[in-house]
Amino acid sequence: MTHLCPWWLGYSFDNSLRRVFHRPEQILAPYVKEGMKVIDIGCGMGFFSIGMARLVGDQGLVISVDLQQKMLEVLERRARKAGVAHRIRFHHSEKDSIGVHERVDFALTFWMVHEVPDPGTLMRQLYRILKPGARLLLVEPKLHVSHSQFQQVVVSAGSAGFQLCEYPSIGLSRAALFDTSTT
């Protein structure tokens, strides 16, 4: 791991000003539907987890995964305040394993893969838990991750079995959408 964002720095990313560039429901609505089981890897303080919980509705589930317990604690408080905590499972991961083995319909990695020591291992773990035809949205910060570095992660996702669908436009970011279809 090159660098792990300290939990307290999460407040600088998860604030109302960020909604100018990133509106979780708007970004995720094409991929996350009511009743889905979805996973937010490196969820931090829940900027996207809470939006995902609104999209999946009461019949759906968001599995919010983070390496730092403090991030999950802040997310849980925020989710309660937003009225969606009952739709979220808070999961503390290990350094080298997300530790989730159930199948999901969609996975999000937003501005976190650059902190993982081995993106290929992460991509293989994600591929194993995504249902056939499920999608992965990979998003990395433009100012922190070069085009070349991002393409290396895209290649590692392909090596894990993912099929590249498109490069969606997301503010301040490099993004790629993948699916698990074998065609």
Report all structural domains of the chain as residue ranges with CATH numbers, in order of start.
Answer: 29-179 (3.40.50.150)
Nearest to 157 by CA among 175, 183, 144: 175
User: For residue range 133-150, what is the model confidence (pLDDT) as tens digits?
Assistant: 999 999 999 999 999 999
Task: State which residues of the chain have pLDDT below 50.
Answer: 1, 8, 11
Q: What is the pLDDT of residue 101?
A: 96
Residue 167 is predicted with a pLDDT of: 98
Distance, C-alpha 139 to centroid of its chain: 8
Percent of residues, the chain, with pLDDT higher than 90: 83
For 38-67, write each residue's pLDDT tens digit.
999 999 999 999 999 999 999 999 999 999
CB 142 within 8 Å of CB 172? yes
Q: Is the pTM of this model over 0.85?
A: yes
- State whether the Cα torsion 23-42-167-57 is positive or negative: negative
